[in-house]
Amino acid sequence: MALPLHPPTEPMLATAVDAVPEPDAVEGGYDYEPKWDGFRGIVFADGADVEIGSRGSKSLTRYFPELVDVFAAQLGEGCVVDGEIVVRTGRPGAERLDWDSLSQRIHPAASRVAKLAEETPASFVAFDLLAADGRSLLDEPFAQRRARLETLFADVAPPLHLSRTTRDAALARRWFTEFEGAGLDGVVAKPRAAAYQPGKRVMRKVKHHRTADVVPVGYRVHKSGTGVGSLLVGLYDADGTLRGVGGASAFSTARRLELLHELEPLVERDAAGEPVRGEGERSRFSAAKDVGFVRLRPERVLEVRYDQLEGGRFRHAVQFERWRPDRDPASCRYDQLESPRPTTSTTRSAEPDRDYSADLRARLGCTRGGSPGIFGYSGG
């Protein structure tokens, strides 16, 4: 059976908001779901032929062989499923999502990939259906796609799961608070009447803090002369230009040295093999300051925590949260942010302005015939 959609297909995205929206804030109302802290994955399954796509067109197929086998066995032919790849750790009944273990799964060595598939196997949580029985569902409203997804996943077994959903905004607000201890990242609100629009920010998301995916473009050596003192980061604008938006700093001594090692493969070098240096903008506050930095090739993505965007830049220094090996640098755009877009030109090397509960964690696991937990309607 031929698939009506093929990779790369961009996932539908969400815009960050400050609070869970009311159901009547959009025509047709909202469905609310937990926001999973994992790798976004669009699964193209046609019998034994399986491909796992992600944001930025990066293929995740080779990194999760245990999931590929399950998709081939359980999903059948002609379907495309949107969901999240996660890793669960902890004793049965008190599990949580483990980002560190998940991020280690992206490894270039096939032997390491196989080893980690055994040691830290992944799960897949489905939350949308883009195609079924060889027919595209992109134009159908989410309420209908969700109903079809529930039918498709009625008899699946772990590690496949169906995400919980509710139309009760009050319950969604409880999830936002209570499930944080299990490693979930917030709540997503999906318009029930909306078609699936790849690459468009149709949904709304409420997170426990503001984060952004950015591209490292340079670093400054710490004033001690050892390690990374600050990391300069950028975002792509609507024209595809990478613009500096600020920097991350305040690293511990050990972390400064770790970052120096992690960033080494990205350092731009001249014909003689020496690091290429750039110079950031000067202001009346930095006239006598060394604003030079080591240039980095824009080939990795990191997630940062920020408080406010102003004039196209982060108002204060951001906090380094984690590397995002599942993301493509080109996907790091201004439109992911809830603050206004930049209206004036900035250079990519611009300097920043200034430097739970246990019982609910237990519900993370699914039990046949009992409480479905956050994972919802899986047959686990």
Q: What residue type is 242 in one-letter code?
A: L
Q: Which residue has the higher pLDDT, 369 or 66?
A: 66
Residue 241 has what pLDDT?
Answer: 94
Q: Which residue has the higher pLDDT, 375 or 293?
A: 293
The model's pLDDT over 30-53, given as tens digits with 9 standing for 90+, comes to 999 999 989 999 999 999 999 999
Mean pLDDT of 124-146: 97
Average per-residue pLDDT in the chain? 85
The model's pLDDT over 276-313, given as tens digits with 9 standing for 90+, comes to 998 865 443 344 455 689 999 999 999 999 977 777 88
Q: What percent of the chain has pLDDT over 90?
A: 69
Helix (H, G, I), strand (E, B) or coil at 85: strand
Residue 108 has what pLDDT?
Answer: 92
Longest Cα separation, the chain: 69
pLDDT greater than 50 at residue 123: yes
Give the contacts of 83 (CB within 8 A, at least 6 positions apart): 40, 41, 42, 43, 124, 125, 126, 127, 128, 163
Comparing C-alpha atoms, which of 373, 321, 301, 313 is closest to residue 344? 313
**Inter-CA distances, 60 with 46, 54, 84, 122, Å:** 17, 7, 12, 12
The model's pLDDT over 341-364, given as tens digits with 9 standing for 90+, comes to 333 333 233 333 322 223 323 333
Mean pLDDT of 314-341: 84
Query: How many other C-beta atoms lie within 10 A of the C-beta of residue 281?
Result: 12
pLDDT greater than 90 at residue 316: no
Catalytic one of 35, 58, 190, 205: 35
The model's pLDDT over 168-226, given as tens digits with 9 standing for 90+, comes to 999 999 999 888 778 788 999 999 999 999 999 999 999 877 889 999 999 999 988 88
Confidence of residue 375 (pLDDT cuts 50, 70, 90): low
CA distance 228 to 220: 6
pLDDT greater than 90 at residue 248: yes
Q: What percent of the chain has pLDDT over 70?
A: 85
Residue 281 has what pLDDT?
Answer: 57
Residue 287 has what pLDDT?
Answer: 44
Give the contacts of 20 (CB within 8 A, at least 6 positions apart): 32, 169, 172, 173, 176, 187, 189, 206
The pair phi, psi for residue 368, each rounded to 5°, is -65, 125
Domains and CATH numbers, the chain: 13-208 (3.30.470.30), 211-336 (2.40.50.140)
Question: Active-site residue 35, yes or no?
Answer: yes
Mean pLDDT of 150-167: 96
* Model pTM score: 0.72
